[in-house]
Chains A and B, each alone.
Chain A
Amino acid sequence: MSVETERSSTESSAASGLDFEDTALTLRLPGSSDPDRKRASTSDPDCPSPTAAAADSPPSPKAQVVGWPPVRAFRKNALAASASSARTKFVKVAVDGAPYLRKVDLAAFAGYTTTSSAAAYDQLLAALQDKFISHFTVRRLGNEEMKLVDAVSGTEYVPTYEDKDGDWMLVGDVPWRMFVETCQRIRLMKSSEAVNLAPRAAR
């Protein structure tokens, strides 16, 4: 048989390319582990990302069988086009008090947060939570401000971003797509320092 259906080990997934998540430094508390991610934030849907598998065996590049799955080229291309039309938009993320910056790809997310029970990892704030402190919770206040709270230390963080004009804005004010367009970098600012930002107009 010319088809390889072997289960690949993590060795071959490493051979297929460095897994960014595996080599990245994290600021986790000792003993906390990577949450199981169902979808990698990559803009290439045809690349068998090692983090995509929920099972114990991530697919190796060889597991791409010619003409399989049986989906018309038109359909495959159409879905790839819609994924790549979002491009990638990596921005630096800084957290007050942490020595390391991280990067997130804004184009990989569908929105700020979601109320649906679909994979929460698709959403920006959940990803920020994931990358930085393992015990963030996302608190949505009545006026729709979003705050990230480190449940361990009790410190509140306010997500802010620098826009194309160089101004520091509160994350969540503008529609998601406009945010993706204009955001240059993100900073999780400690609440105590964020009082100088103009409050949102009260409803």
Chain B
Amino acid sequence: MTYFPEEVVEHIFSFLPAQRDRNAVSLVCKVWYEVERLSRRHVFVGNCYAVRPDRVVLRFPNVRALSVKGKPHFADFNLVPPDWGGYAGPWIEAAARGCVGLEELRMKRMVVSDESLELLAKSFPRFRALILVSCEGFSTDGLAAIASHCKLLRELDLQENEVDDRGPRWLSCFPDSCTSLASLNFACIKGEVNAGALERLVARSPNLRSLRLNRSVSVDTLSKILMRTPNLEDLGTGNLTEDFQTESYQRLTVALEKCKMLKSLSGFWDASPLCVPCIYPVCAQLTGLNLSYAPTLESSDLTKMISHCVKLQRLWVLDCIADKGLQVVASTCKDLQELRVFPSEFYIAGYSPVTEEGLVAISAGCPKLSSLLYFCHQMTNAALITIAKNCPNFTRFRLCILEPGKPDAMTNQPLDEGFGAIVRECEGLRRLSISGLLTDKVFMHIGRHAKQLEMLSIAFAGDSDAGMMHVMEGCKNLRKLEIRDSPFGDAALLGNVAKYETMRSLWMSSCTVTEKGCQVLASKMPMLNVEVINEVDESSEMDESHGGLPKVHKLYVYRTIAGPRDDAPDFVKIL
């Protein structure tokens, strides 16, 4: 192969889109390394602190699509203090210096400033797509800059970001000459947008396929927009709460009926039950439906809608749907692949209308189910065993029993056997979140059977260090391990230090790890950053020493070739 001209080698590599494969071929020889790096179009950086931005840009100057992730996953649940890090600035600045051909930027859990967005908007003449997920630090002024300067913008996708709303001006910043928009999602913008500007923007965007509006957009505006977008495939509605004005809703129904290509529906902010019938015309063609922001829809409203959705593959709902609603899903949605049931109330010891029965019904009716996120107040081993047998195709299984440490609702036993069945039957399982009362036994099962597992989330589980050690020994493909409030200490942390270099990261909070243990880890493994995060407010609570040694509140360990980061705040100590 090395006797081929470089153009031929490059052409062969173009058939290897997967980053893992490209990483592999680049190790073969220097020639291949050079060919590969200059022809790499997509770069994915799973941890922004694993490598310096300059180094990425230097190696891959011709990258077109860059994807970077910042804070650890538990930051979603306020476990990572603000100002911890994850700044987008250095990445955008480095790209602006070294790869001006950049077309796409994807960022998740990062802190993005308006200045960075402005730099982004002005630095890349071919920029086409900006996707920000769970980010913060910017305002609608930054979006205005993107709208104003990115002449070829095709995609602006803002998913669940914390955006400072400085008024509706930003939407009007798209110039009249901008006709390339294919995807626009501003559902997370809190304030008003100018309806006229929105309608005009849609009118001059013939390629628009995906549009997700925010709460402020009225039913009337939505109807007018939909009349212009018969080719829309994905829609996020505005608010559907207005007093029942028959004409408005009839217009909406007529407009929706025209959207023959519509496959995916979301939004439903505070949707009134009276608006539900408007959606019926499109239900039969939907493959995706997100009703998880409509707490005002009761089980009967939801089931009326879902009973028409025979092609549904992805469903996100609130637990208001209740077990009987899930039974309707099970009997209607035979193609269901992904289900997420979110809690409508957050009380720990409470009552939720979904139980293990709903999930068992789903597993019986939807054999293609492969991805699950389920919040409930009770579960049983028997149910989990049945579910595992019914659905061996799970790749993602996340069960959250709202009360920490709650046992099997019928037998009062730990749920070890139930989750054991899941990992035994579901050989392709890549992601797992466990909850309820769990002993070290469950980790024995996981270590023994979950051979494809890449991400494991543990909370309030286990008895001793042995638990974590089972996982570290057995799960050969583990990349991310996140643990909170479990009795794992230094012995577990140090039981298999070499493994951390094969993983992206480890998070441990409110465990029994001490600073000494962390020091030992840091000194044994120079290629890891061992971050000890101690917050001042909680120190009084956590002062109970463990054998005389100060306990570590939060620990974040990740492999890196960048060395200790220089933007860490005071409360982060990098050992």
Q: Write the residues of chain A forming the contact surface with B, with a CB cutoff of 8 angstroms.
A: 1-3, 5, 7, 38, 45-46, 48-49, 52-55, 57-59, 63-76, 78-79, 82-83, 85, 110, 114-118, 175, 177-178
Residues on B with C-beta less than 8 A from A177 are 243
Inter-subunit contact A53/B351 (CB<8 Å): yes
Residues on B with C-beta less than 8 A from A82 are 269-270, 293, 295-296
Inter-subunit contact B510/A70 (CB<8 Å): no
How distant is the Cα of A72 from the Cα of B74 in the complex, in angstroms? 9
Q: How far is the CB of A129 from chain B (nearest CB, A)?
A: 19
Interface string of B55-83 (1 = CB under 8 A from A): 00000000000000000001011110000
B44 interface residue per 8 A CB criterion = no
Total contacts A to B, CB within 8 angstroms?
A: 129
Interface string of B246-289 (1 = CB under 8 A from A): 00000000000000000000000110010000000000000000
Q: Which residue of B lies closest to A78 (CB)?
A: B293
| Interface CB pairs A-B, < 8 A, 20 | A2-B541, A3-B510, A45-B345, A48-B348, A52-B345, A52-B347, A52-B351, A55-B349, A63-B349, A64-B348, A65-B404, A67-B79, A68-B404, A70-B400, A70-B459, A71-B342, A72-B77, A73-B77, A73-B162, A116-B298
Inter-subunit contact A38/B78 (CB<8 Å): no
| Residue of B405, B457, B485 contacting most chain A CB atoms (<10 Å) | B485
Residues on B with C-beta less than 8 A from A76 are 346
Residues on B with C-beta less than 8 A from A45 are 345-346
How distant is the Cα of A63 from the Cα of B487 in the complex, in angstroms? 19
How distant is the Cα of A100 from the Cα of B78 in the complex, in angstroms? 46
Q: A85-B270, A110-B296, A114-B298 are in contact. Are A73 and B346 (CB under 8 A)?
A: no
Q: A38-B351, A82-B270 are in contact. Are A71 and B293 (CB under 8 A)?
A: no
How distant is the Cα of A39 from the Cα of B510 in the complex, in angstroms? 32
Residues on A with C-beta less than 8 A from B342 are 71, 75
Tell which of A2, A46, A52, A75 touches B292, judged by Cβ atoms closer than 8 Å.
A75
Residues on A with C-beta less than 8 A from B86 are none
Q: How far is the CB of A155 from chain B (nearest CB, A)?
A: 32
Inter-subunit contact A54/B351 (CB<8 Å): yes
B395 interface residue per 8 A CB criterion = no
Within 8 A of A (CB), among B1-47: none
B386 interface residue per 8 A CB criterion = no
Residues on A with C-beta less than 8 A from B547 are none
Q: Which residue of A lies closest to B272 (CB)?
A: A177
Residues on A with C-beta less than 8 A from B510 are 1-3
Within 8 A of A (CB), among B149-165: 160-162
16 other contacts beyond A53-B351, A71-B375, A175-B243, with CB at 8 A cut-off?
Answer: A1-B510, A2-B510, A2-B538, A3-B460, A5-B460, A48-B348, A49-B347, A52-B347, A53-B347, A59-B349, A65-B348, A70-B400, A71-B346, A74-B161, A74-B188, A116-B300
Inter-subunit contact A69/B349 (CB<8 Å): no
How distant is the Cα of A112 from the Cα of B275 in the complex, in angstroms? 17
Q: A1-B485, A74-B134 are in contact. Are A116 and B299 (CB under 8 A)?
A: yes
How distant is the Cα of A64 from the Cα of B342 in the complex, in angstroms? 18
Residues on B with C-beta less than 8 A from A59 are 347-350
Q: Which residue of B lies closest to A47 (CB)?
A: B347
B490 interface residue per 8 A CB criterion = no
Q: How far is the CB of A55 from chain B (nearest CB, A)?
A: 6
Q: A71-B343, A118-B299 are in contact. Are A66 and B78 (CB under 8 A)?
A: yes
Tell which of B160, B298, B404, B433 touches A74, judged by Cβ atoms closer than 8 Å.
B160
Inter-subunit contact A53/B350 (CB<8 Å): yes
Residues on A with C-beta less than 8 A from B188 are 74
Residues on A with C-beta less than 8 A from B54 are none
Q: How far is the CB of A164 from chain B (nearest CB, A)?
A: 16
Inter-subunit contact A72/B134 (CB<8 Å): yes
Residues on B with C-beta less than 8 A from A67 are 74, 77-79, 484
Q: Which residue of A lies closest to B349 (CB)?
A: A59
Inter-subunit contact B350/A54 (CB<8 Å): yes
Tell which of A53, A57, A70 touches B77, judged by Cβ atoms closer than 8 Å.
A70
Residues on A with C-beta less than 8 A from B542 are 2
Residues on A with C-beta less than 8 A from B404 are 3, 5, 65, 68
How distant is the Cα of A177 from the Cα of B292 in the complex, in angstroms? 22
Q: A66-B78, A177-B243 are in contact. Are A2 and B347 (CB under 8 A)?
A: no
Q: How far is the CB of A163 from chain B (nearest CB, A)?
A: 16
